[in-house]
Amino acid sequence: MAIKAASKAQATWQGNLAEGKGRVRMSSNAAPEMPVSWEARTNREGVSTTSPEELIAAAHAACFCMALSNGLNQKGTPPRQLDVTATCTFEVDQGASIKEMHLEVVGDVPGMDEAAFKEAASAAGEGCPVSKALKGNVNVRVTARAKTA
């Protein structure tokens, strides 16, 4: 039996690109409505609004955690904890684009050595649905480190 699920989010924008402001909200109400702005896309210093890239980074971090957790569990080494930081790089040069996604993961996985953890993280980086959606358009890099006691 196939699983099919649709997730929804809404956005509203007012004004021009550089000075306008917007808001995004998730239909699940799992997070409060969030402000978005061009400034948040191009200057992350001291900005309290979000950007599409920050939202993609959050989605990718969560998806990667799930994929890695599943892969580790299938190997008989379920993780105690995975901590992932996703950095989505937005560039404006000859047009605007997302150039890179860097996933940094630290895993607490009893019974697994560093090399095996890095291999599992690399496989999750290739196999998670968000990575697959970005493939061919965005350079996805994974850096992994096993947590030591």
Q: What is the DSSP string of 97-138?
A: EEEEEEEEEEEE-TT--HHHHHHHHHHHHHHSHHHHHHTTTS
* Phi, then psi, of 129 in degrees rounded to 5: -55, -35
Q: Where along the chain do the CATH 3.30.300.20 domains lie?
A: 52-146
Burial (CB < 10 A; 0-12, 13-18, 19+), residue 65, is buried
Residue 145's pLDDT band, with cuts at 50, 70 and 90, is very high
CA distance 82 to 14: 39
Residue 47 has pLDDT above 80, yes or no: no
Q: What is the mean pLDDT of residues 56-73?
A: 97
Residue 103's pLDDT band, with cuts at 50, 70 and 90, is very high
Percent of the chain with pLDDT over 90: 83
Residue 149 has pLDDT above 60, yes or no: no
Structure confidence by residue, pLDDT tens digits, 112-142: 999 999 999 999 999 999 999 999 999 999 9
Asked: is 52-146 a CATH 3.30.300.20 domain? The reply is yes
8 A C-beta contact, residue 64 and residue 87: no
Look up residue 92 and give its two tokens. 């404006």
Residue 44 has pLDDT above 80, yes or no: no
pLDDT for 147 equals: 86
Residue 148's pLDDT band, with cuts at 50, 70 and 90, is low
Start-to-end Cα distance in the chain: 41
